[in-house]
Amino acid sequence: MSAPLYHLRNQFPALNQPDLVYLDNAATTQKPERVLSAMNRFYREQNANVHRGAHRLSDLATRTFEGARDKVQSFINAPAREEVIFTRGTTESMNLLAQSLGSHLLQPGDEILIDTWAHHACIVPWQQMAMRTGAKLIPIPLTGDGDLDLDAYQALLGPKTRVVSLTQVSNALGKVAPLEVMLPEARAAGAITIVDGAQAVAHLEIDVQTLGCDFYAFSGHKCYGPTGIGVLWGRRELLEQMPPYQYGGEMIQQVSFEGSQFNRLPYKFEAGTPAIAEAIGLGEALAFIDELDRKALQAHETALMERVKAGMAALPGVEAIAGRGHNLGALSFRVEGEHHQDIGILLDQAGVAVRCGHHCCQPLMQALGLKGSCRVSFAAYNSLEEVDAFLSALKEITEFLDD
């Protein structure tokens, strides 16, 4: 293990366990000490509610909390901090959009395009809103290699397309969407564009202005931050038009029994006491990522993926799913004749943590003709030695099952 990687791994307390090869990062990443310390420091030294108090602790908590919003704005290059909304994660962000934007925008016969890679959290909110409004939810199909079918996508775009929701990086396959092609085409069709960036933020540099989408969502726990916090960024003109998603607390400016006046952005969409410590932890996680050598990180993660693909190809009966071409961060696989859950349990007994199941992507599994798969996924702190340990364990398991 190289000295820089050794130094990086030492920042993650959870990795200092014997016989643990953690390769389930697409589900959640481990947290560096600086994130844990920032959250602990808030509770020990700054604990107060934000925005409302007139005392010193409340002012300090507010400034620290809003400083985290500034870090998010810088990290994704958002035009304005008011466009950065804290949510509980990508799931809540998608529910907010479906409920608020969907109820404001959709009419009977309108069409919502969503990719077949999509996580359930992206599918179900729009599915339910389509049922309520009479709109249609239309999946963007895949090619034989598991990529999004751009010809089919272009054919589906039309005058009734109101919303296009795209996954930047597939959580199950590690495939990367060609957003530089798909987003302009959606805009040309007059559609509102949404990007699920949950699997992208830990691996790619994100610039929402360069992407040109209307909304971008991600979760803190996928990028070395805490659970229970996420971000929805949206264009101000659209956020201003959308009705609130929840009511009460900070999203209220004035209340009477005759009616209520809602707060300005971003607080209009942040009802109740926010996840203050979690937002602070997220800000610290993004600062951690910003301090990494991103080019070196991408080269390292590419080396991890190439090693695992080559190793799987050398194992009889092991198939990398949609493994041709580029996979970022995650790769699913299957062992011929074996249930994915059994493989996951045997790997766990060998000290290797992977994810097994449908990965909250049942429509994708159906499209691939699978009931589920095993998935290996990487983070900045993973090493080539860990890839070799995983491959060695997988080899032993397949040989044992063949006996």
- Active-site positions read 360
- Which of 402, 397, 400, 381 has the alpha carbon at shortest distance from 348? 397
Q: Would you say the C-alpha torsion 178, 74, 264, 251 has a positive or negative sign?
A: positive
Q: Helix 384-402 vs helix 340-349: angle between axes, to the nearest 10 degrees?
A: 120
Q: Which two tokens mark 128?
A: 């339910």
Instruction: Tally the residues of the chain.
Output: 403
Burial of 43 (C-beta count, 10 Å sphere; 0-12/13-18/19+): exposed
Q: Which two tokens mark 39?
A: 């959250």
Distances (CA, A) of 106 to 37, 129, 132, 135: 45, 9, 10, 7
Pairwise CA distance, residues 196 & 217, whole Å:
5
Q: Which two tokens mark 398?
A: 């397949």
Q: Are strands 111-115 and 21-22 parallel, antiparallel or unpaired?
A: unpaired
- Which of 355, 360, 354, 358 has the alpha carbon at shortest distance from 372? 358
- Which of 250, 199, 221 has the alpha carbon at shortest distance from 39? 221
Task: Tell me the three-class secondary structure of 267-326, residue by residue.
Answer: HHHCCCCCCHHHHHHHHHHHHHHHCCCHHHHHHHHHHHHHHHHHHHHCCCCEEEECCCCC
∠91-97-100 over CA atoms, to 5°?
A: 130
Phi-psi category of residue 190: left, alpha or beta, with phi > 0 → left and psi -120 to 50 → alpha: left
